[in-house]
């Protein structure tokens, strides 16, 4: 077997991974990919497929087996050691926040790890979990090189006007600025569009990454111009458990009411968004199937605010040639896509109902002024490529 790059994408309740083999022509070939979901829950599951999609593992686990991220990592590492005969040449990690210093993927050193640890307050749901596998590998396999790939890096092309808040200069100098997130997903969409729809990729594109976390990004010729998320992953579109855009005065009011920092943080990160509005859950499928008025309110709020933000992003691109839906909800929910696009019919968007229902690549009608597309994302592939590029740049 040739050298292998392992990709690790650690979330709050899931651990996704892929293994890519470096071919003789220096391209990367996917060998396998898997996930361990439901970490810390009552029904964790471990699933792995090979490059052709054939199932290699698909089993339910006992809750104690995946009680936390550390236990999940042990399951993943144990299985990979049996399947892949030699250690990977490198491990690439998704790191949500790179702060003001990180504009590209980097080899992880102890100093880099310490810096990234300082950014945990800016992404409390994600950063600590992203860094946990890095620490484990440092401890047990210090000889394996690790590469940090940042969700914020793709947006470093944005202008100073877009990046700033209307705050004094000292706050910008201390790192208080709009970073944007989901950059690995947007970079994949930009590269994928160049492969399958080059004429679209060269134009003005807004991609809506709609999942439990949600944002939208305006691109021109594949370069980020503006995005909905800002200083943290709380901003912008409403999400599964996060409110999205929120008047800062609401937080001041909460403080005046005697709420503590941790209580407010838990509310904003874990108790708001679709879960908070509906009072039911944060799963869009459950909300769409529900007859409860609060569920309908949550769905309507999500689609309205998403459409509103898409329209606003057109200021950065000075028009729109294509709208792309991606991520879990964006790729798999015809109803959500239809509702968002209904709010944007005034822009000349015309959906093809049959194509939309089939999750086709092109879901707009031929006479639609703006093309509408569904493109599945693949953050892990971008992480693998960035890891390889970083290695070849330092070898």
Catalytically active residues are: 151
> In what helix (H) or strand (E) does residue 356 lie, and over which residues does it extend?
helix 353-357
- Smallest CA-to-CA distance from 226 within 302, 333, 304, 320 is with 320
In a 10 Å sphere around its CB, with 0-12 CB exposed, 13-18 middle and 19+ buried, how is residue 168 labelled? exposed
- Is the alpha carbon torsion for 104, 109, 111, 116 positive or negative? positive
CA–CA dist 277, 308 (Å, integer): 18
CA–CA dist 168, 138 (Å, integer): 40
- Smallest CA-to-CA distance from 153 within 114, 119, 106, 194 is with 106
Q: How crowded is the C-beta side of 223, counted as CA atoms within 13 Å? A: 8
- Smallest CA-to-CA distance from 124 within 340, 329, 268, 301 is with 268
CA–CA dist 135, 112 (Å, integer): 12
Neighbouring CB atoms inside 10 A of 158's CB total 22
DSSP line for 234-255: TSSS--SS---S--HHHHHHHH
């Amino acid at each position: 077997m040739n050298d292998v790059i392992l990709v690790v994408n650690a979330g709050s309740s899931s651990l996704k991974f892929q293994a890519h083999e470096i071919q003789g022509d220096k391209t990367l070939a996917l060998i396998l990919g898997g996930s361990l979901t439901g970490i810390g829950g009552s029904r964790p599951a471990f699933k792995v497929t090979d490059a052709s999609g054939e199932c290699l593992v698909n089993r339910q686990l006992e809750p104690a087996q995946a009680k936390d991220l550390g236990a999940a990592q042990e399951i993943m590492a144990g299985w990979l050691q049996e399947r892949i005969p030699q250690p990977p040449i490198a491990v690439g990690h998704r790191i949500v926040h790179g702060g003001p210093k990180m504009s590209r993927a980097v080899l992880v050193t102890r100093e880099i790890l310490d810096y990234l640890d300082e950014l945990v307050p800016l992404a409390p749901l994600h950063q600590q979990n992203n860094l946990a596998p890095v620490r484990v590998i440092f401890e047990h396999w210090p000889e394996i090189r690790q590469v940090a790939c940042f969700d914020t890096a793709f947006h470093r092309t944005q202008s100073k006007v877009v990046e700033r808040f209307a705050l004094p200069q000292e706050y910008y100098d201390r790192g208080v600025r709009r970073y944007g997130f989901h950059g690995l997903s947007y970079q994949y969409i930009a590269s994928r569009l160049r492969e399958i729809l080059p004429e679209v990729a060269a134009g003005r594109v807004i991609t809506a990454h709609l999942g439990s976390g949600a944002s939208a990004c305006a691109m021109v010729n594949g370069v980020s111009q503006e995005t909905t998320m800002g200083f943290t992953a709380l901003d912008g579109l409403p999400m599964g458990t996060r409110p999205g855009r929120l008047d800062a005065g609401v937080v001041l009011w909460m403080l005046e009411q005697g709420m503590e920092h941790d209580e407010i943080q838990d509310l904003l990160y874990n108790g708001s968004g679709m879960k908070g509005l509906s009072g039911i859950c944060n799963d869009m499928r459950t909300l769409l199937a529900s007859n409860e008025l609060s569920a309908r309110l949550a769905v309507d709020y999500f689609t309205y605010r998403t459409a509103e933000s898409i329209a606003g992003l057109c200021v950065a691109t000075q028009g729109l040639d294509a709208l792309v839906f991606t991520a879990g909800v964006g790729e798999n929910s015809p109803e959500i896509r239809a509702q968002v696009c209904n709010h944007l019919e005034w822009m000349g968007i015309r959906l093809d109902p049959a194509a939309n229902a089939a999750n086709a690549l092109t879901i707009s009608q031929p006479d639609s002024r703006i093309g509408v597309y569904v493109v599945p994302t693949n953050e892990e592939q971008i992480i693998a490529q960035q890891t390889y590029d970083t290695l070849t740049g330092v070898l």
